[in-house]
Amino acid sequence: MKITAIFPGLPDAESADLSDYSKYFLSYKREDWEADGCEGRFEYPFDGGEVVLFFVDYFGKGISLRYDYNVPNAKAGSCWYSVGQAHAMHDIVDADTDLYIPLGSCLPPALAFAVLNDFFANPLEKSKKIAWVNAEDLDWSAID
């Protein structure tokens, strides 16, 4: 199984090794994320499309995850946000220049890494360690 990675401060990886990213989550330091941006992604291509796990470090308040299941030329794709604080899921914030996330999607770094670990084990299923909310169920009208 080949997962590619784009991670701040590290070279892009065509075949990512989870251990290369553990310190950024398990020994979290905000300054490790600030130098080269706060977001990145892990991608798993498969015959019918690709799955992408996006992550954003929101100014030390937690790590937001977005799980995209993309199927080309179909409306079968879906986009899901992690749920860290359900009461704040409708508070949409700008995590970077026009990079909007639900504030409630921010997770503690160790929990975000546990989800990442599940992604590396089986990228075709969302982790069951957290709840997810479909992006279509959120109110994005505040950013229009």
Pairing of strands 92-96, 99-102: antiparallel
19 phi/psi in degrees, rounded to 5: -65, -25
pLDDT of residue 47: 85
DSSP code of 99?
E
pLDDT of residue 73: 59
- N residues, the chain: 144
Domain locations in the chain as residue ranges: 4-143
Amino acid at the residue 6? I
CA distance linking residue 128 with residue 80, whole number of Å: 13
Beta bridge mates, 70: 50
CA distance linking residue 17 with residue 38, whole number of Å: 20
Q: How many CA atoms lie within 13 A of 117 on its CB side?
A: 13
The tens place of each residue's pLDDT in the chain, 144 residues long, gives 799 999 988 899 999 999 999 999 999 988 887 765 688 999 999 887 899 999 999 988 899 999 999 866 556 678 999 999 999 999 999 887 788 999 999 999 999 999 999 999 999 999 999 999 999 999 998 886
pLDDT of residue 64: 96
Burial class (CB in 10 A: 0-12, 13-18, 19+), 24: buried
pTM value > 0.85 = yes
